[in-house]
Amino acid sequence: MSGQDGARTGAGRATTASDLTALTAAEARRHLDARDVSAAELTEAHLARIDAVEGRVHSYITVMAEVARAQATAGDARIARGEAAPMTGVPVALKDNLCTVDAPTTAASRILAGYRSPYDATVVSRLRDQGAVFLGKANTDEFAMGSSTEWSAFGATRNPWRLSHVPGGSSGGPAAAVAADEAVVALGSDTGGSVRQPAGFCGVVGLKPTYGRVSRYGLIAFASSLDQIGPFARTVEDAAILLGAVAGHDPLDSTSAPEAVPDFAAMVGPGAGEPDLRGVRLGVAREYTIEGMEPGVQAAVDAAIARLAELGAELVEVSLPHTEYALATYYITAPAEASANLARYDGVRFGLSVQAPTLRETYERTRGEGFGPEVKRRIMLGTYALSSGYYDAYYVKAQKVRTLVRRDFDEAFERVDAIVCPTSPTVAFAFGARTDDPYQMYLSDVFTIPANMAGIPGIAVPCGFADGLPVSLQVLGPAFDEGIVLRVADAYERSETWTGQRPPL
């Protein structure tokens, strides 16, 4: 970040708006605690940045300016008392499928337009308790169903690197907000790659934790056995800080795991020492080289893996033989669960209600007008898979294959510490390029879906450019070992001189 070295290193006072919006969470913490930057100043700089670029990017559905200002004032008072937590005063974007009491939660759907939740999601509560600043609710594909953020009822988000291209999805809004300096960090949700793929397309870091590591309470459900909330950040260190702030057991979520939360932030960044992967065995799976990989993506990922070897990692070829079935398995499992979860949107209890002479017609008109085309497509796919006569042939068989996918990873992790592979087979594609071809759209997540099927953690970290657009390396680890994926991604990130480049907005 040329011209911003004072802010980047923590030396001197960061005074300009561009200095302030360039700060990482770790840098912001140092400036805030040193009292040479206030939370109010940091917040106003980000709100000004949102005003400047939102007309082009459209990262947000709702900007929470007054809420953010009040939280910033409270954060400054907390810092003055010497009671700052890691996220106190740090501006955050929240994907608009995370429930908040002080702003609408729409899941980017007309059926929930204007809906206000009576409670916060647990991750929101934990950030609120730490004194974080909520800049707004970020855009998403409707009900998190999509790979491009073109399926939002409130308009598409654009990729800050090239405005004619998609930011990925479904968490395209949070990814673009971080990439465009409209937030320091953000929270999204990942059901089949919806944190990692947009992070890859937008050139930022995106982490999907182990299923159960972060509470799903207050996350509007898409596919309950796959959904997981995860952080977006410009550095691996920031992702670790945000993960530490929201992770941990939650009695309100029956799938939340009673696992201790390590100090993730201590594992990464300058405090962890020089990048060194000696003694780390990294698996390279032959199944992650597929037809349709863009040559520029393959070259960048190969170079990144070679750099990991230069850092001391031992590369080991592994096989994940059932990977080729993961995509098909996912598109039976996820729509089936979505069909059940979205049955609650009936025009009776909350959200849009289109009245008709009979209750059945009210249901039909409400859902017909409230849901967009991709949501309808997935509801129909899922309902079909669960219907009498097809349940055993499709849904039950998919669960058996899912077990095999998970077993492949278990066996691989007996030989290696982590697995490295591309995040996506392509860079970000142009708007409209895949909306008429759902199969090609679904292939965008071919490398991210297996981790959701197995419930393991994965991180996407920028690893170069192809055709002027970001390319991303994915690191997958064993269940509840986010530490190894963070360590590998951090070592790579800190060994590259080009990391930290910003979009030309």
Write out pLDDT tens, residues 306-337. 999 999 999 999 999 999 999 999 999 999 99
pLDDT of residue 5: 36
Beta strand 469-476 with 458-466 is: antiparallel
Q: pLDDT of 41-95, one tens digit each?
A: 999 999 999 999 999 999 999 999 999 999 999 999 999 999 999 999 999 999 9
Inform me whether the pLDDT recorded for 398 exceeds 70.
yes
Inform me whether the pLDDT recorded for 3 exceeds 60.
no
Hey, which residues does 232 pair with through a beta bridge?
186, 206
Hey, which residues does 281 pair with through a beta bridge?
314
How confident is residue 438, by pLDDT bands cut at 50, 70 and 90?
confident
Inform me whether the pLDDT recorded for 40 exceeds 90.
yes
Of 59, 95, 147, 424, the active-site residue reads 95
CA 218 distance to own-chain centroid: 16
How confident is residue 421, by pLDDT bands cut at 50, 70 and 90?
very high
Cβ pair 178, 235 in contact under 8 A:
no
Six token digits for residue 208: 């999907």
pLDDT of residue 16: 75
Inform me whether the pLDDT recorded for 443 exceeds 60.
yes
**Does the residue 336 lie in any domain?**
no
Q: Which helix (H) or strand (E) holds 78?
A: helix 65-80
Which residue, 107, 142, 61, 67, is CA-closest to 372?
A: 142
Instruction: Write out the residue range of the structural domain in which residue 241 sits.
Output: 5-258
Work out the average pLDDT over 189-217.
Answer: 98
Q: Among positive and negative, which fits the CA dihedral 475, 476, 480, 481?
A: negative
**Does the residue 66 lie in any domain?**
yes
pLDDT of residue 11: 43
SS3 9: helix
Residue 312: count of CB within 10 angstroms of its CB: 13
> pTM value?
0.95
Q: How far apart are CA 365 and CA 374, in angstroms?
A: 17
Q: How far apart are the first and last CA of the chain?
A: 14
What contacts 81, CB < 8 A, 6 or more positions away? none
SS (H, E, C) 145-161: CCCCCCCCCCCCCCECC
pLDDT of residue 15: 60
Cβ pair 261, 269 in contact under 8 A:
no
Six token digits for residue 199: 């992070």
Whether the bond into 170 is cis, omega within 30 of 0:
yes
DSSP-H helix ranges across 348-448: 359-370, 373-386, 397-412, 438-442
Q: pLDDT of 321-378, one tens digit each?
A: 999 999 999 999 999 999 999 999 999 988 999 999 999 999 999 999 999 999 999 9
Cβ pair 150, 140 in contact under 8 A:
no
Cβ pair 208, 228 in contact under 8 A:
yes
What contacts 394, CB < 8 A, 6 or more positions away? 332, 336, 384, 385
Number of structural domains (the chain) is: 1
Q: Determine whether 224 is an active site residue.
A: no
pLDDT averaged over the chain?
95
Q: How far apart are CA 200 and CA 210, in angstroms?
A: 19
- Say what percent of the chain tops pLDDT 90: 90
CA 177 distance to own-chain centroid: 12
Q: How far apart are CA 246 and CA 39, in angstroms?
A: 20
Inform me whether the pLDDT recorded for 7 exceeds 70.
no
pLDDT of residue 9: 39
How confident is residue 14, by pLDDT bands cut at 50, 70 and 90?
low
Burial of 294 (C-beta count, 10 Å sphere; 0-12/13-18/19+)? middle
- Say what percent of the chain tops pLDDT 70: 96
How confident is residue 12, by pLDDT bands cut at 50, 70 and 90?
low
What is the 8-class DSSP label of residue 206?
E
pLDDT of residue 292: 84
Q: How far apart are CA 486 and CA 239, in angstroms?
A: 9
Of 194, 339, 424, 444, the active-site residue reads 194
Q: Determine whether 170 is an active site residue.
A: yes
Q: Determine whether 95 is an active site residue.
A: yes
**Does the residue 199 lie in any domain?**
yes
Cβ pair 47, 135 in contact under 8 A:
yes
User: CB under 8 Å, gap of 24 or more: what pairs does 112-117 form?
Assistant: 112/220, 112/345, 112/350, 112/351, 112/352, 112/370, 113/153, 113/351, 113/352, 115/350, 115/351, 117/218
Q: pLDDT of 240-298, one tens digit each?
A: 999 999 999 999 999 999 999 999 999 999 989 999 999 999 999 989 988 889 999 99
Q: How far apart are CA 25 and CA 31, in angstroms?
A: 10
Q: How far apart are CA 487 and CA 475, in angstroms?
A: 10
**Does the residue 505 lie in any domain?**
no
**Does the residue 375 lie in any domain?**
no
Six token digits for residue 319: 């096989």
Q: How far apart are CA 241 and CA 96, in angstroms?
A: 21
Inform me whether the pLDDT recorded for 168 exceeds 90.
yes
**Does the residue 140 lie in any domain?**
yes
Q: Helix crossing, 65-80 with 39-57: angle to 10°? A: 160
Of 170, 189, 215, 472, the active-site residue reads 170
Of 502 and 342, more confident: 342
Inform me whether the pLDDT recorded for 497 exceeds 60.
yes
What CATH number is attached to the domain comprising 70? 3.90.1300.10
pLDDT of residue 439: 81
